Structure 1
């Protein structure tokens, strides 16, 4: 965003974006009486607010008018709003209401997709002015948002084709040039012109004539240069002649006493160099132009000067100034920079081979709001519609309270709660009430002490309502409810991708018998939303609930770091139900998760929740794992302090309150009682024990030592993650086979009964992938195969970040490193590094054990073996479960 913010700010204390634009004259007659300057200033304030809300998830424009008489907006305001959305259907995005001297414009979020009027593609953003110009015949035209979107999209595609073409190295950075045979070129080559001579060519696509202004010449040139130079650059290039009459084609120039040619030259060069340029290609070059200020002679004497500018076609996009487009950021209405505007306008879903094979799109940018991000889930898992039916199904003809177990707990813990909430629900006949001990925590906000619960009502013929139930009357309770409702509404649109008209009203209730519940029941929103904001029926409710599924189950995918763009993924219903557990009631929990069931993702999500529930800093949450690479990977997320088990045993960690342990099956008790120490630390706080959650999978036990875990019977309470979310079909089938081997003949250090979880396993179907087991190859054959296969995948869109080469032990890494590097260099494939730097653009070469808890799309396992055959199947599972899509094993 640019530093300059307009004077418009978002007003606090509303569960929606509400922008106060001050006093505005309304009504056609009233506005016609205004001076043009005042009318334009008022209109600009309204349009900026409207543009910002359209681009930021929707909201409300609030204005004051001079009297209480009912009036319309005024034709100029309505026309400008129609131009902003490029549609005659004003009510599709704007509805108005008047309450006394207050006038409200309710703004729905903009969304991409097709315009219903003509089927054309809507741009990703709304803009008051694109600042992109083009030539059309003899005219210079300003592109509207739709034209700008199509222009930028074509430029981006052209650049991509050029860069990926067979001769892209030759073509990089080369501009097209105007042909010398152009009729304007001979005149351009001259060093002087005659006053009154008629140029032998007319205005055209490539030629523009302009007369000099009679005064303020430099200001005039500063005004016309950006529009005409950018228009020529964005089209086919051309010539701008200043000092020539456009009708007669006569050379008039500018009298010498009225202009300083050197000063004029500096001004023109400075103005052109200041034009914003955005590149999609790698050239990053500036506008190519030739400027000539030539003498204009009258009867052989110097009369004055004329200006000639030759502009070459530009490779990408040239703007006359920054686009006039607005967005809400940190409660301020801010203008978008040129680069940010272009980035948002041309943003598309990731287009990589592994996504198309391994994932399915749940939410696309092509039909979503401007701030939305794409959402993907692995093939074979539940779609958002299935998850909505499973978690938040809408019953026919009555209200349903969910989760039922939480509703039972709350009503048994708090006398009178059931009666209080039921009273609120009496007007509603069909819908769903979604309960939470804190909807704020569910939305990644901090929990508020004194809140008994929050209840979200999604009901037919009503806007969504968020109820907050307090134990005691609390002045801050209203702020908490308002902030939570605000976050929910913003998330439904900007994260969940909801494209309908939506608001979330906020109501506060108090259970204390000393307080009057009625006193707090009024909705905080003073404005009454239009009827179109109510959910009309089951279809509308389910559409909103599917957006809610993305809000609640979505998390930042590990693909985001890999692709360089923000991508969301979805938890499974099983993961969500575990994540939704009350941390205050589940201070200690053992989670047994099958290979590829998402234990590390869950560990990260739980640490984020701990931070919000207990209002604690990152330094008070400790994540412990066995290996340094996984420690580094989690540490880079900046959600906790991360350490290995050995470091934990040696340290004191006096500031730690909560501990999450991952891959605990590979821990050892050789350096001390890590479990006892963790339990002591989390129980030492004066205000009660902290969180101790332990994630493990006995199928991936990679040693025969004592793990230090308590007996299986003492691992209580215990939960199980049985739905596999990582591996493609062939890899999953291989895992099933090897896990059955372990279940039939477990090593002595795996507790009896711990492997029965395999009977509950759920495997996704339909995820394509590769499993190849290549036996009896020499080291040279293996490394050649790895290099050839990597090159094959890189040519098809994969990157070094997708690949891991895993060997048995850390000692063997050096043994294979030299041979692999030699083969890679022959194939011109990139270098190798160990797993401690997972985010680097390189192939990982490390041991199977050190890669525990991490994953890559393509995994090569070279000679996976162990000194004790009893745990060889475990090592093979550790290896295979790291591969998401393609697995090659060289036994």
Structure 2
């Protein structure tokens, strides 16, 4: 047997310390002297199924007959039967990999440690397939094949023909035996017609044959033909009985799930029932004797007699059954994919029942792990500055002393409830902080530092640990056996020595001990669950409900190493300047930080996002996460408030500025106005600011500063500067082309209108910035297409290239035409509309200036006649701005200067 024997004192200790397990814990009562389906014992299967589908956990079983003469053999027989059922639930996999049973036959408590399954588990599929003589229940692999079948259903006319005549006691020549499309059933005997219950028995039997036939090639069920010799005897059904049979079968068909719970099968199209008189009956038996034929067509997508019996643990911690469409999404989850992303990204092989679909650059996870485990930070709790916002100096000193117990071997010490490792649980007032320890030497622990040790604080600690484990397994894909031990450390009870002693109490089965390989897998799972976000609305895995994660059109990207390091290490930095090359993901990081401020308790009115570009503002505004304004409107509203002595921005406590290099100070001191506003709204005292207010983050890139006017930016000297260098947006051909225009000029001359300070900023940043580097090796095979022509030929060449791109399969929504000036945009739009009509394009193409498109991107970009006033702008930086908007295809049409 697979269970571990413990003495009574050990079992009592385990029960008394149940709150120390960082697990989903389900509890039930069992009688081991009874069968699996007796006295409520079948709840074990239901709860085990839920744990397998929800990241694993513990099933605590209270034995009701442990002191009623139960013998060791009783437990062996009972548990052997359970194991056979478990093997069916996990589709025949080795149960030793998933279950560890702890307890003896005479113990009041039994414990089953359940590891997450690697696919959705189901107790009963309620679906069948035919054999030549009967039907059988489907297996997991058969169900997958059924669910993946697509196409239209077949016709009833495609089924084997039904004989025109049926003669009593005779065998139909064309139906001498049963097949996978023909089944015989004789519900009554010639001497015992028992017609009273025939319609009910018939409708009851129909379901499993309908499922079997529809899931294969379709078929007929002949009621009234015995299966020994295929002799016809018929069933005795008068007209009222026949009507009742039709109604009952119709009801059964309405319950059957035909590929989709919303679909209703139509009589005469997808199924039918007909009554054929039996000829040459003996006089005593000829009244109302008929052969009843129920026909069903072949139907794609799986036909089920009821919703499959499968369970999970919902967000409230209760066991819940899947509705059909949720179950189907879960079953097909591992087959979801986005093949078009494979050329640039790697799909993570996450194999758990509710796994998200995640793509990443090849090196990202290892790169992030290396940053997390750097020698200069590994012995410090992460993220830095967390405790400064949550605890007093004395509390911080005590917490650091306790955490020092883990400073041996490879380990991570992480504060919970920060960006990334945030848990959606309300923290009791008595709790100061929770700390997760991942250690090769000590295993996995959750330390809850609190001002009291009340039961609800213990419950909080256990719930936080269980939530973290669920994240690492169901979102991060860790399938190792591991457990998290919870410790409640009361700050004022001086239980330091008691805590040290508790570190030696490890009451998980030995298979759950943490090894070096397990530790690496746990850190990898943490990285995935922290840094995965949807590319459309930037919401993270943690913010998405199960159904959204399993939705067929939802997928996630991992943040780059730079983006992760920025948010992880700087999330408590009040004022920060983030420098990044084009395509480095500044806007992604900016929106992620805004989402974090909202998680901390900010509302939309507390956060202001500013950009120069109204199109970029519209993009961020669409997420509805904060106030969004462009620089001009911000200054206009500030000035209007000053005139009217109004306070329009009195609730703004945090400001995020994007693409700040494009700003200008000609309309007012935008930077100074932001500082005054934040000082006013946060009392101007950094020490009084809460963890959710007083943040001023500026995202910028001097390499994209096209204009030579002052941007209103102060010196970077003395500022907190963070450098990003990894580019992911562009293909290698486009990146290499743009890189040649990013090289700094050798001259240090001050451009007209530019301040000496901003030139000095550029010089300083060149010394500390790392060169832009491409985060992938993806090549499209298409070099940047530079088209030289006469001025008079520019439009002709433009529409020629447009036609080529559209004919090659580029979607019109994936394409933008960029020009240099607003006047050129207006002049070109009329011609583009005419071109769209000629080509039959159903929607308008994007025509915009390079300036207004800054910060945005499209798969294909056509740049038309790039030029600038060299007294006011830098042509090289203009070309960088233009070229880096393109992800895969870049065409630049310009006059031939020769």
TM-score tier after normalising by the smaller chain length: 0.7 to 0.9
**CA separation of 1:461/1:348 partners in 2, compared to 1, >3 Å: closer, same or farther?**
same
1:198 maps to 171
**CA separation of 1:856/1:451 partners in 2, compared to 1, >3 Å: closer, same or farther?**
farther
Please tell me whether the aligned partners of residues 96 and 103 of structure 1 are also in contact (alpha carbons under 8 angstroms): yes
Please tell me whether the aligned partners of residues 233 and 312 of structure 1 are also in contact (alpha carbons under 8 angstroms): yes
Please tell me whether the aligned partners of residues 501 and 533 of structure 1 are also in contact (alpha carbons under 8 angstroms): yes
| Residue in structure 1 matching 2:720, options 713, 717, 725 | 717
Please tell me whether the aligned partners of residues 451 and 468 of structure 1 are also in contact (alpha carbons under 8 angstroms): yes
**CA separation of 1:640/1:278 partners in 2, compared to 1, >3 Å: closer, same or farther?**
farther
**SS of the counterpart of 2:343?**
helix
1:293 maps to 275
| Structure 2 portions without partners, runs of 5+ | 1-16, 189-193, 540-548, 638-647
Matched, 1:773 2:786: yes
| Residue in structure 1 matching 2:597, options 603, 610, 622 | 610
**CA separation of 1:666/1:590 partners in 2, compared to 1, >3 Å: closer, same or farther?**
same
2:640 maps to none
**CA separation of 1:773/1:582 partners in 2, compared to 1, >3 Å: closer, same or farther?**
closer
How far off is 1:19 after superposition? 4.5
**SS of the counterpart of 1:861?**
strand
2:115 maps to 108
Please tell me whether the aligned partners of residues 592 and 720 of structure 1 are also in contact (alpha carbons under 8 angstroms): yes
| Structure 1 portions without partners, runs of 5+ | 1-10, 112-123, 160-172, 834-843
Matched, 1:580 2:568: yes
Q: Once structures 1 and 2 are overlaid, which stretch shifts more, 53-62 or 297-306?
A: 297-306
Task: Give per-residue Cα distances to partners, 1:648-694, cap 9 Å, x unaligned.
Answer: 33441333222212122223345443333322332223543621112
Aligned residues: 812
Please tell me whether the aligned partners of residues 200 and 245 of structure 2 are also in contact (alpha carbons under 8 angstroms): no
Q: CA RMSD in A?
A: 4.0
Q: How does 1:577-726 map to 2 (within 5 A)?
A: 577-581=565-569, 583-584=571-572, 586-613=573-600, 615-651=601-637, 652-683=648-679, 684-686=681-683, 687-688=688-689, 690-707=694-711, 709-713=712-716, 716-726=719-729
Task: Give per-residue Cα distances to partners, 1:198-220, cap 9 Å, x unaligned.
Answer: 33312111101122364533432
How far off is 1:641 after superposition? 3.1
Please tell me whether the aligned partners of residues 791 and 829 of structure 1 are also in contact (alpha carbons under 8 angstroms): no
| Residue in structure 2 matching 1:816, options 828, 849, 864 | 828
**SS of the counterpart of 1:541?**
helix
Matched, 1:265 2:246: yes
Task: Give per-residue Cα distances to partners, 1:319-375, cap 9 Å, x unaligned.
Answer: 2221221122222222222222222222346654541222123x124xx11111132
1:117 maps to none
| Residue in structure 2 matching 1:804, options 816, 821, 826 | 816
| Counterparts of 2:504 and 2:857, CA distance in 1 | 47
2:485 maps to 505
**CA separation of 1:747/1:443 partners in 2, compared to 1, >3 Å: closer, same or farther?**
farther
| Counterparts of 2:609 and 2:19, CA distance in 1 | 37
| Counterparts of 2:386 and 2:300, CA distance in 1 | 62
Q: Once structures 1 and 2 are overlaid, which stretch shifts more, 594-603 or 713-722?
A: 713-722
| Counterparts of 1:827 and 1:316, CA distance in 2 | 39
| Counterparts of 2:89 and 2:821, CA distance in 1 | 63
How far off is 1:819 after superposition? 3.6
Task: Give per-residue Cα distances to partners, 1:828-877, cap 9 Å, x unaligned.
Answer: 555225xxxxxxxxxx4433222222223332223333345633323222
Matched, 1:880 2:891: no
Question: Taking structure 1 as the reference length, what is the TM-score of the superposition?
Answer: 0.81
Q: How does 1:469-480 map to 2 (within 5 A)?
A: 469-470=449-450, 478-480=458-460
| Counterparts of 2:569 and 2:521, CA distance in 1 | 26
Please tell me whether the aligned partners of residues 505 and 525 of structure 1 are also in contact (alpha carbons under 8 angstroms): no
1:373 maps to 356
Q: How does 1:284-683 map to 2 (within 5 A)?
A: 288-296=270-278, 298=281, 302-330=287-315, 331-348=317-334, 351-352=337-338, 354-361=340-347, 363-365=348-350, 368-378=351-361, 382-392=363-373, 400-401=379-380, 414=393, 430-436=409-415, 438-439=417-418, 442-443=421-422, 445=424, 454-460=434-440, 462-470=442-450, 478-512=458-492, 515-517=494-496, 528-536=507-515, 538-558=516-536, 565-581=553-569, 583-584=571-572, 586-613=573-600, 615-651=601-637, 652-683=648-679
Please tell me whether the aligned partners of residues 243 and 254 of structure 1 are also in contact (alpha carbons under 8 angstroms): yes
**CA separation of 1:474/1:63 partners in 2, compared to 1, >3 Å: closer, same or farther?**
closer
2:545 maps to none
How far off is 1:61 after superposition? 1.4
Q: Once structures 1 and 2 are overlaid, which stretch shifts more, 217-226 or 422-431?
A: 422-431
| Counterparts of 2:91 and 2:336, CA distance in 1 | 28
2:26 maps to 20
Please tell me whether the aligned partners of residues 423 and 468 of structure 2 are also in contact (alpha carbons under 8 angstroms): no
Task: Give per-residue Cα distances to partners, 1:215-254, cap 9 Å, x unaligned.
Answer: 5334323322222112112211111112222223233333
Please tell me whether the aligned partners of residues 24 and 56 of structure 2 are also in contact (alpha carbons under 8 angstroms): no
Question: Taking structure 2 as the reference length, what is the TM-score of the superposition?
Answer: 0.81
**SS of the counterpart of 1:849?**
coil
